Structure 1
Amino acid sequence: MTKTELSSLWKSVNSHGHNNVGRRIDPAHPLSFFVSYDEDENMQIMLISPYLPQMPLSSKQIKVRANERADHKYAICLSLTDNSLKEMFIALCWDLVDCSYNIPDDKTGVVRVINRFKKWQKLFEKERSNGMNANQVKGLIGELTVLKDICIPKYGAAASVEGWMGPLYSDRDFTLSDVWYEVKTVSLSKDTITISSLDQLDISDDGLLIICRIERASESENGAFTLNTLIEEIERIIATDQRILTVFSNRLTFCGYNKDEETSKEYYKSYELEKYTVNTSFPRLRRSELPNSITNGSFELSIPAIKNWRTD
């Protein structure tokens, strides 16, 4: 189901008074999702569940509640209270349904849905008027470059886009079947990188730290590109899979991407992708090696000092 098809389901529901009967989103889905309107005629997605999870609080944008029904199941309801965010709410609903297709049981599915909703809730609460700043754009360019040049050729479009977890507030940018990648985007002259949290590299499985070097460029410079043109290139690569295109679009939404922002139209040039193996000997801070009184922190790594871990 596309976001357009999902949106059309609300049009088939009468939003007025007692005639508001919900429409099931997908009868083949293992969970029972419905679109409907609440008592204030707000767009709503409802999940009928035999299990009551720990519910998040309502926000200014989305009202959250869970009501026990006569059959002792629970109606978990998420209602949009700010209609200016309608398109984002539809994207949220599509993602909640999509992320819970392959589940071992109802409880696991419901917990997954609530956890994914909490990530969306953070996005709804963000200040959206200022767009992405230059550092955020460069960081996104680095992740998309790794997606296009490393992940998709090796793992395919579907696994690569779904494995791009950075936008979902994951500790690492990519989690794939046999490896994880953390991407840092810096200028040509930069000789340090910042590890923004203790958890970013604190993992027992081996992975790769990838340093993407980019610089601002002029439009006429050979190889120059914008964030918009990079995204368009990836969209052409994955164009045959409508579902993955939608997942990709949602990930970009999480990043705060807006193609009309001036920062999305600025030109850059990519110079090199440096790969470093993060294994048991790689220099990093680990929580287990720190006093219990230290609960979080960040640190800088010298790029020249980790040259022995560089790999092809």
Structure 2
Amino acid sequence: METMSWKLMKILTALKTQNFPFLKTHFKNMRLEQLETQWKRIDNKEIEDGFHSIRISPDSIPDLYIGFDRGGLRNLILSIPKPHSFRFKGVAKQNLSIDYFEESNHIVIKLISSVYSDLFNDLILSLYKRICYISNAEDYGNELIKAFYRWSGFFTDYTTNGLTDDVIKGLFGELTLLKELVKQSDSFSIDEVLESWKGPYDARNDFESDTKCTEVKTKEETKTEVRISSEFQLTLTPDKSLTLCIVSVSVNHEDGLTISEQIDSVKELISERNGEMGILINALLQKGLFGASLPLYGHLKFKPMEMSFYDCSADNFPKITTLNITSGIFEVSYNLRISQLEEFKISQIKL
């Protein structure tokens, strides 16, 4: 890392005393738009030394700042009160770096590529929620360092060939169910809910918890059937129930959402419940749904209309599985006529 003798302490101490009326709200549940507003309020004119920066929140016990450096790059800056200090060498990953400035006693995480600005905001909010009420400097300093290593892999450049419209529609349906599950969760159960989303990892079922599996099928609202793509999708997992969730959507509706907007709405709910955003980010990265790739799918808009849930665990539920297929037959796909599933319906939600 480049060594810089920046007068950070002087700069940040002065900023700490400034009055920013927009920060007078309670920031325990800081949201993405609030953080982005703060970035816009920082004077980003050319500077010769240090940062143009602002303290994230007056509610935070640690002195945590966001700022632009002289290269116009975004930085997260943690001021460590003396006599506490940290001893580590700076680390530069592909699009993210961390360094410790001993003279001013600051730890700085720098975003090297602006392509990842949204993801950098997610990192900041996740860290802020973890440390805002921690008073021990060693504890919150170590949390920041751990956050860097926990998140740095997300800032790696991935190559993707793009996803088909049908795949995007399917992921939109999965996110629609995830959104409902997050709404029903609280700060104690939110991370478990996020961990249950297995669809992006190409698991057998789209959602799996300790006791239940759920397979999600997304269809246009006028369609009367759904496609089961293999004999494995509706095969029961031992000691777990299996539910089929059919999400009906209106395609290209004027009130529809792009998949990027749907992701943002899920992020907002996670933030409100103090969930670990990294769990969602890691799942989205499996499909390349981040940063510059998201605009590729901006032409697709979906309006969720309803979700219907069916009990696939029933013995007479119409399905082809590994247990009832004749030996030698494999890679089976088939359609299910929704009208024939009425007796197995568990519930229905209008969206």
Name the TM-score, length of structure 1 as normaliser: 0.54
Aligned-pair distance for 1:17? 1.7
Among residues 86, 94, 101, which one is paired with 1:67 in the alignment?
101
SS in 2 for 1:36: strand
The answer for the alignment partner of 2:174 in structure 1 is: 142
Q: Deviations over 1:73-119 (max 9, x none)?
A: x5221112223444443443334323433558544444444444445
Alignment of 1:110-189 (within 5 A): 110-127=141-158, 130-132=161-163, 134-135=166-167, 138-139=170-171, 141-148=173-180, 150-152=181-183, 154-155=184-185, 164-166=193-195, 184-185=215-216, 188-189=227-228
Aligned-pair distance for 1:64? 2.1
Q: Deviations over 1:113-163 (max 9, x none)?
A: 444444543332142665555546524522431431x452x436x777666
SS in 1 for 2:78: strand
Aligned-pair distance for 1:44? 1.3
Given the alignment of the two structures, is residue 78 of structure 1 paired with residue 100 of structure 2, yes or no? no
**Mapped partners of 1:238, 1:21: distance in 2:** 28
Among residues 30, 44, 48, which one is paired with 2:61 in the alignment?
30
SS in 2 for 1:35: strand
**Mapped partners of 1:248, 1:24: distance in 2:** 23
Alignment of 1:1-312 (within 5 A): 1=30, 2-9=34-41, 11-12=42-43, 15-18=46-49, 20=51, 22-38=53-69, 40-49=71-80, 50=84, 52=86, 57-69=91-103, 74-103=105-134, 105-127=136-158, 130-132=161-163, 134-135=166-167, 138-139=170-171, 141-148=173-180, 150-152=181-183, 154-155=184-185, 164-166=193-195, 184-185=215-216, 188-189=227-228, 190-193=230-233, 212-213=245-246, 219=251, 228=258, 235=265, 244=272, 255=284, 256=289, 258=294, 261=297, 264-265=300-301, 272-273=308-309
**Mapped partners of 1:246, 1:110: distance in 2:** 20
SS in 1 for 2:79: strand
Q: Deviations over 1:180-228 (max 9, x none)?
A: 876554665344249xxxxxx9xxxx9987654569x8849xxxx9763
Unaligned runs of 5+ in 2: 1-29, 218-225, 314-320, 325-343, 347-351
Unaligned runs of 5+ in 1: 195-200, 278-300, 305-309
Q: What letter matches 1:155 in structure 2?
A: S
**Mapped partners of 1:140, 1:111: distance in 2:** 37
Q: What letter matches 2:258 in structure 1?
A: N
Q: Give the direction of change, closer, same or farther, for the CA distance of 1:167–1:209 in structure 2 (3 Å limit).
A: closer
**Mapped partners of 2:140, 2:196: distance in 1:** 21
Q: Give the direction of change, closer, same or farther, for the CA distance of 1:45–1:122 in structure 2 (3 Å limit).
A: same
**Mapped partners of 1:61, 1:261: distance in 2:** 24
The answer for the alignment partner of 1:280 in structure 2 is: none
Q: What letter matches 2:56 in structure 1?
A: I
**Mapped partners of 2:46, 2:171: distance in 1:** 42
**Which moved further from structure 2: 259-268 or 93-102?**
259-268
- The answer to whether the Cα contact below 8 Å between 2:43 and 2:52 also exists between their aligned partners in 1 is no
SS in 1 for 2:174: helix
Q: Deviations over 1:275-310 (max 9, x none)?
A: 799xxxxxxxxxxxxxxxxxxxxxxx9698xxxxx9
- The answer to whether the Cα contact below 8 Å between 2:68 and 2:75 also exists between their aligned partners in 1 is yes
Among the aligned pairs, what percent are the same residue?
Answer: 11
**Mapped partners of 1:30, 1:175: distance in 2:** 38
Q: How many residues align?
A: 261
Q: Give the direction of change, closer, same or farther, for the CA distance of 1:238–1:114 in structure 2 (3 Å limit).
A: closer
Please report the RMSD computed on the Cα atoms of aligned residues, expressed in angstroms. 5.7
SS in 1 for 2:155: helix
Aligned-pair distance for 1:261? 0.3
**Mapped partners of 1:25, 1:107: distance in 2:** 20
**Mapped partners of 1:126, 1:193: distance in 2:** 32
